[in-house]
Structure 1
Amino acid sequence: MTEPDFDIDAFLARPLTAHVATSGPTVRPTWYLWEDEALWILTGPWTKLLGRVKADPAVAVAIGVCDIATGEVRQVIARGKAEVLPFDVPRGRRKLSRYLGADETRWDERFRRYLHDDPAERGTVWLRLRPSSLTATDLSYQV
């Protein structure tokens, strides 16, 4: 990994949208959790993503921000092989609360189900990417 232009951990702690690329190529937006030097993405059999990763675990994930009001233009690109791991509720709660807020009663029912349904029955799993390559670029400008 090259020396980043900014604090990667602080950047990835923000509730930004990541774009996951799999073989095909296929690119799809997703929410993520940056934890333990890995990207965690919630998925299951209701998406094509899980099948694509099982067929070929090589992925690239791009996370970026472009704010013309402040001039902030930053990106992080992670590459590596994704692993399929069992879903755990505490990590799921941490991930979803980043995007939806701490008050679960205000969440749409489909998000609450991830925390209360049986993950084995529903097929909910984590894709974990411990990047073999992580690039951070700051292209910000003054407004």
Structure 2
Amino acid sequence: MDVNEFLSQPLVARVATKGPEVRPVWFLWEDGAFWWLTGSYSRLEQLLTEDSRVALVIDTCDPAAGAVFSVTCQGVAEVVPLDRAKAVRKLTRYLGPEDLWPVRFSAPLDDPATKMVRFAPDRPPRLHDRSW
């Protein structure tokens, strides 16, 4: 499995910001960056304004198969305007077709306070295989 194949799966990333504060996020890996949503429901925009450095980890563990894969990145994140098409691609990975989404996921896309975080890591992500 290569890094792009791994990152195309609907996995959960954990993002660490100043504090440290760690939060799980659904993400999209596209255009050499990780993308996720933020809005008035989150303090993330404020935290990134204070200090835009973040660390991110995405990992899987299958004890029965002895398979452990991970991607760990560091760098600077920026809050950018909502790209609705990108947000829909991200949410479709996790929830399926848009017409099947619960309102709590579709409503924020119509909220002017909803934005995206763009995180381009300092180095290209590498997939680490720590299987035994």
From 102, 105, 112, the equivalent of 2:106 is 112
Q: Deviations over 1:31-58 (max 9, x none)?
A: 0000011000110121122211111000
SS of equivalent residue, structure 1 residue 65: strand
Equivalent residue, structure 2, for 1:137: 128
**Do 2:3 and 2:126's aligned partners in 1 also have CA atoms closer than 8 Å?**
no
TM-score (ref. length: structure 2): 0.92
Deviation at 1:71, TM superposition (A): 2.5
Amino acid at match of 1:86: P
Q: How many aligned residue pairs are there?
A: 131
Equivalent residue, structure 2, for 1:125: 115
Q: Relative to structure 2, which stretch is displaced further, 22-31 or 66-75?
A: 66-75
Q: Deviations over 1:66-113 (max 9, x none)?
A: 0123332010011100011110111011000000012x2321111111
For structure 2, the 5+ residue unaligned runs are none
Larger Cα Rg: Structure 1 or Structure 2? 1
Give the ranges of 4+ consecutive aligned residues of structure 1 lying more than 4 Å apart after TM superposition: none
For structure 1, the 5+ residue unaligned runs are 1-5
Equivalent residue, structure 2, for 1:65: 60
SS of equivalent residue, structure 2 residue 121: coil
- Matched residues, percent identical? 45
Structure 2 Cα separation of the partners of residues 69 and 13 of structure 1: 23
Please provide the CA RMSD for this pair.
1.4
